Amino acid sequence: MVRLSVNINKVALIRNARGQNFPNLIQFAKDCESFGAQGITVHPRPDERHVRFSDLEPLKECIQTEFNIEGYPSRKFIDHVCRVKPDQVTLVPDPPGVLTSNEGWDTIKNASFLKEVLEEFKSNGIRTSIFLETKQEMLEGALNSGTDRIELYTGKYAHEYSENPEIAIENHILISKLASQYKIGLNAGHDLNLKNLKYYSDNVVGLKEVSIGHALIADALYFGIQNTIGMYLRLLKG
């Protein structure tokens, strides 16, 4: 079964809007796990507009499943992640001020940078993943970087899914087969939701984990967080 990691950034965004600890981010993470989530993902950004760097250690202490921290590997980010030591770190090429992660790494242009950063994380016992477009040359660059996993950017797939699912997913299937041949772990995330998730997980080869935040939290406004997590888990069971 593909693991579901719930991204709780939007919960932190709501908390920060009033300057109080409500909703309680730590309790929400615990509740997500008790409702069946197999991981918790956070993405602390430089402006800390949702998850803050100060949230990382309390979350690490309470999370019983898998803790995934994603973000751009600035020196501040690297230092915090190496101190907290989550189960996984996912590197995304977000410059400061970007609204959301909307593209993968150029693993050829950034080859030396990525390799150096990944080595530092791995020396601290942290599994590594790189946010990636569905391009063979970028996969090969990721392989050369020494990363443990890649996370395929699914925003374009989600955007094109309603028009033609087969065309929308074809590159993801190709890259997933190559990743399996190269023996590199495969995650996926961005704009996956109740409409497009099952088709994706049923067709992509060797998918280990999906990270879902915005759509899942939005669905929870209607269905409740416990019901929503259950709905997503049922789609991933195939």
Give the whole-angstrom CA distance, residue 174 versus residue 47: 37
The number of residues in the chain equals 238
Give the whole-angstrom CA distance, residue 227 versus residue 216: 11
Residue among 235, 238, 234, 233 at smallest CA distance from 4: 233
Pairing of strands 67-71, 88-91: parallel
Catalytic site positions: 43, 70, 190
CB 25 within 8 A of CB 12: yes
Give the three-class secondary structure for 23.
coil
Torsion of the alpha carbons at 171, 174, 179 and 180, rounded to the nearest 10? 140
Identity of the amino acid at 163:
E
